[in-house]
Amino acid sequence: MASKEGILIPAIDRYVNEILPARDPVLAEMERLAKRENIPIIGPACMRLLSLMVQVSGAKRIFEMGSAIGYSAVWLARAAGRGAKIYYTDSDPKNLSRARDYLRRAGIAGRVEMLLGDALVSFRRTPGTFDMIFIDVEKHQYPAALRLALPRLRHGGLLAVDNILWSGRVAHKAKAGDKNTRTIQQFNRSVYANKELFPVIVPLRDGVVICRKR
């Protein structure tokens, strides 16, 4: 479903994905494109979880740090409903162009503001607080993304971060030179040590952590 394999037992991973309801034509096309061109997307199982969290929390103002072709933006905009504001970020003009077309076809383009450029820079330039922040940028950016996100997340708001189990590599000592694994390991420890957050790691696909700001 994305460029990175899941960390579940293969038979369980297949079952979790096969039992999912079929996606509409727009999402299904995005999933095929992601698979064909090796574009990382979070996938439908994780997005159903994040969509549920949006619906339960009533999140309306959501910032995505890293959006690629807009797959998660479609899910989040639909889950948040009318009056929502989703901030899409990506540094690739081709990705933004594709995402804009998919959002239009999904009928939710009016809920999404498209920001071209580095996600962290775009975040700094966007004023206000947020009900939910979703981090899915380059792994070496995770610590900086957290430092930026936390003061701007409202109390009771949600923080979600993808690829938190990193194909299971986080469970072992990082090899020499493997900065990404070491960064994610340190990031996970810092999230659980943060007194402002109540985090839960969910071992779907490549792992996602969902935190509520106290």
Residue among 162, 212, 165, 211 nearest 185 (CA): 165
What are the tens digits of pLDDT across the range 172-185?
A: 999 999 999 999 99
What are the tens digits of pLDDT across the range 36-83?
A: 999 999 999 999 999 999 999 999 999 999 999 999 999 999 999 999
* Ramachandran category for residue 81: left, alpha or beta (phi over 0 → left; psi -120 to 50 → alpha): left
Give the pLDDT confidence score for residue 13 in this predicted structure.
87
| All domains in the chain, ordered by first residue | 10-213 (3.40.50.150)
Let me know: does 77 contact 85? Beta carbons within 8 Å. no
Average pLDDT, the chain: 95
Whether this model's pTM surpasses 0.75? yes
